[in-house]
């Protein structure tokens, strides 16, 4: 809405996003367990703790901004997915959400597999000891070098994304004297109810091979003929931050339909299907994500039912949750630098990070909440916008949230649910130094990714 529509200046109703934050929450000091990591609580002194450590101590030791990750919560969520799907299915954690060597070790210990989508992610996985046969290699344009490295390492599967890649992987595998296990990623034509940039199963986009027009069937024909490839299954990933299971239902129906066509045409029953990741998490109290056991039950039932009616053996199912495992386990801790009330509008709260550590608000219009964590306050709520320190007015971390009216420079505030796609999409914009990831567990904290230094920046600047 343009300002000129209201010559007297916008009223509050104009600046509040529809359906959100029309009223401040009853208690600004309360921490909704839906959006905060499991071990987060507010101590009697008003300071928030995680894994038994106070945020003030963490800020002192590691500085701000910092991503603070609750290791117990990460392991619990990983285990919940593993247990929910059981021994007849595989859970591949999507490394793009956040990957470090500690994370790889936790996944290994908790019995999960790993999905990587670049040479860098593959290197991280291998260097932390993830067995290669538990790694899936993704991507819509893997380089020949990346493919060769994955084949040489004997990764469990490469997910093929195009006709060129079918030929490329087959050629590389054959020239290395190997037969690479592969899946073919198809687009099933589902419109996932999520942001356009993170929806991936409609046909007009870069990922996968369309089921429509017989392209997927042709891809299967080619893959089955090539000596360098062992086609083990079909892959579908419909998008991200999805709450509604109906998209998965349609996808499963269409993938099984293709398996049936393959059986009818080639006499081959492919043993695996992968339904991708994409399950949503709670970024605000309004979001209601599904539990892993509900998701597992629903996906398994859909696939089993579809296979029964197609008279196919039920294939081994795999899934690739990223956000749903790591997203809720971390928050970003910031120090408030300036507080700028704009009469009749809102108060701008500037923190010591911004779009360089969380690009999701600028990129996807993502919603986040925020809380004052270094103390409690009984002050009246103020409508705030949490912004970063970058040279850009779109540098917004939390668009609209209520914070206590006595918020002041030096206070620590934290944005929950930043475990996924924040550190992994962080940048050096304005030569910002990317924050550390500090893992806390049972009263101990350690940086699993350290803060960048100016030395790190200058090391790359060889001119």
Catalytic residues: 391
Exactly one of 97, 103, 169, 216 binds ligand LLP (CB under 6 A); that residue is 97
Do 357 and 380 form a contact (C-beta atoms < 8 A)? no
Q: Smallest distance from the beta carbon of 421 to ligand LLP, in angstroms?
A: 3
Q: Determine whether 452 is exposed, middle or buried from the number of CB atoms within 10 Å of its CB (0-12, 13-18, 19+).
A: middle
Q: 65 preceded by cis ω (within 30°)?
A: yes
Say if CB 34 and CB 300 are below 8 A apart. Answer: no
Q: Binding to ligand LLP by residue 237, rule CB under 6 A? A: yes
Q: How many CA atoms lie within 13 A of 26 on its CB side?
A: 2
> Stretches 234-242, 258-266, 387-395, 396-404: which one binds ligand LLP (CB under 6 A)?
234-242
> What does the alpha-carbon distance between residue 66 and residue 58 come to, in Å, rounded to a whole number?
9
Min dist. Cβ of residue 48 to ligand LLP (A) = 25
Q: Does 276 bind ligand LLP (CB under 6 A)?
A: yes
Residue 62 or 248 with smaller CB distance to ligand LLP: 248
The closest of 380, 387, 376, 385 to 404, measured between CA atoms, is 380
Answer yes or no whether residue 328 interacts with ligand LLP by CB under 6 A. no
Distance between CA atoms of residues 391 and 430, nearest Å? 8
Contacting range for ligand LLP; rule: CB under 6 A; set: 69-77, 160-168, 276-284, 373-381: 276-284
**How far is the C-alpha of 155 from the C-alpha of 138, rounded, in Å?**
11
Nearest distance from C-beta of residue 130 to ligand LLP, angstroms: 16
* Cβ atoms within 10 Å, residue 380: 11
What gap in Å lies between CA 275 and CA 90, rounded to an integer? Answer: 11
Q: Is 138 in the site for ligand LLP (CB under 6 A)?
A: yes
Q: Candidates 167-175, 224-232, 236-244, 245-253 — which segment interacts with ligand LLP by CB under 6 A? A: 236-244
Supply the minimum distance, in Å, between the C-beta of residue 23 and ligand LLP. 28
C-beta separation of 121 from 96 below 8 A: yes
Instruction: Supply 220's token pair.
Output: 């299967």
Does position 223 interact with ligand LLP (CB under 6 A)? The reply is: no
| Window 423 to 462, contacts with ligand LLP (CB under 6 A) | 425
Q: Using the rule CB under 6 A, is 233 a contact of ligand LLP?
A: no
Q: Kindly state the smallest distance separating residue 81's Cβ from ligand LLP, in Å.
A: 11
Based on the shown chain and the rule CB under 6 A, indicate whether residue 360 belongs to the binding site for ligand LLP.
yes
Q: What are phi and psi of 52, to 5 degrees?
A: 85, 5
Q: Which of 50-58, 91-99, 165-173, 379-387 is the region at the interface with ligand LLP (rule: CB under 6 A)?
A: 91-99
Taking residues 183 to 202 in sequence order and writing x for each that binds ligand LLP by CB under 6 A, - otherwise, the string is ---------------x----
Q: Which is nearer to ligand LLP, 159 or 382 (CB)?
A: 159
The helix or strand, by DSSP H or E, that contains position 363, with its residue range, turns out to be helix 360-364
Tokens 């369309």, residue? 210
Tell the smallest beta-carbon distance from residue 453 to ligand LLP (Å): 26
Closest CA to 417 of 395, 434, 401: 401
Number of residues that bind ligand LLP (CB under 6 A): 23
Q: Does 277 bind ligand LLP (CB under 6 A)?
A: yes
419 is a site residue for ligand LLP (CB under 6 A): no
317: contact with ligand LLP by CB under 6 A: no
Q: Which residues contact 118 (CB under 8 A, 6 or more apart)?
A: 139, 146
Kindly state whether residue 142 participates in binding ligand LLP, applying the rule CB under 6 A. no
Q: How far apart are CA 10 and CA 321, in angstroms?
A: 42
Element (H, E) at 404: strand 396-404
R_g over Cα of the chain: 24
Q: Which of 77, 168, 323, 346 binds ligand LLP (CB under 6 A)?
A: 323
Least distance from C-beta 369 to ligand LLP, angstroms?
17
Q: Which of 228, 322, 353, 354 lies at the binding interface for ligand LLP (CB under 6 A)? A: 322
HSE, side-chain direction, 13 A CA sphere, residue 449: 20
**Residue 404 makes contact with ligand LLP by CB under 6 A:** no
User: Which stretches of the chain bind ligand LLP, using CB under 6 A?
Assistant: 94, 96-97, 115, 138, 198, 237, 240-241, 276-279, 320-324, 360, 364, 420-421, 425
């Amino acid at each position: 809405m343009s300002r000129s529509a209201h010559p007297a200046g916008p009223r509050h109703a104009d600046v509040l996003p529809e359906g959100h934050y029309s009223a401040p929450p009853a208690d600004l000091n309360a921490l909704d367990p839906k959006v905060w990591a499991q071990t987060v609580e507010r101590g009697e002194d008003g300071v928030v703790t995680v894994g038994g450590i106070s945020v003030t101590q963490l800020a002192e030791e590691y500085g701000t901004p910092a991503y603070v990750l609750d290791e117990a919560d990460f392991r619990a969520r990983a285990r919940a997915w593993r247990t929910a799907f059981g021994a007849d299915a595989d859970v591949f954690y999507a490394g793009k959400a956040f990957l470090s060597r500690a994370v790889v070790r936790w996944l290994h210990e908790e019995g999960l597999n790993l999905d990587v989508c670049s040479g860098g992610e593959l290197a991280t996985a291998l260097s932390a000891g993830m067995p290669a046969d538990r790694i899936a290699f993704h991507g819509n344009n893997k380089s020949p070098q990346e493919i060769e490295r994955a084949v040489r390492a004997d990764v469990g599967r490469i997910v093929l994304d195009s006709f060129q890649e079918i030929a490329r992987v087959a050629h590389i595998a054959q020239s290395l004297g190997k037969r690479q296990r592969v899946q073919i990623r198809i687009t099933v034509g589902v419109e996932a109810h999520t942001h356009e940039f993170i929806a991936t199963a409609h046909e007009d986009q870069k990922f996968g091979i369309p089921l429509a027009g017989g392209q997927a069937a042709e891809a299967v024909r080619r893959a089955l003929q090539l000596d360098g490839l062992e086609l083990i299954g079909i892959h579908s990933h419909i998008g991200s931050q999805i709450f509604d299971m109906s998209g998965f239902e349609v996808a499963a129906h269409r993938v099984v339909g293709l398996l049936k066509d393959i059986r009818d045409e080639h006499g081959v029953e492919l043993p695996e299907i992968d339904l991708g990741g994409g399950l949503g998490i709670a970024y605000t109290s309004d979001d209601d994500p599904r539990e892993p056991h509900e998701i597992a039950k629903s996906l398994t039932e859909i696939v089993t039912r579809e296979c029964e009616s197609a008279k196919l053996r039920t294939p081994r199912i795999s899934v690739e949750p990223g956000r749903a495992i790591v997203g809720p386990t971390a928050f970003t801790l910031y120090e408030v630098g300036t507080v700028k009330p704009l009469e009749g509008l809102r108060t701008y709260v500037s923190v010591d990070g911004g779009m360089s550590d969380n690009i999701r608000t600028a990129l996807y219009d993502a919603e986040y909440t925020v809380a004052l964590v270094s103390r409690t306050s009984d002050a009246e709520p103020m409508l705030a916008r949490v912004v970063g320190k970058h040279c850009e007015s779109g540098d917004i971390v939390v668009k609209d949230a209520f914070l206590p009216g006595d918020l002041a420079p030096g206070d620590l505030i934290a944005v929950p649910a930043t475990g996924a796609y924040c550190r992994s999409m962080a940048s050096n914009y304005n030569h910002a130094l990317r924050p550390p990831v500090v893992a806390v567990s049972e009263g101990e904290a350690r940086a699993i990714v350290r803060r960048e230094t100016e030395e790190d920046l200058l090391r790359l600047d060889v001119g």
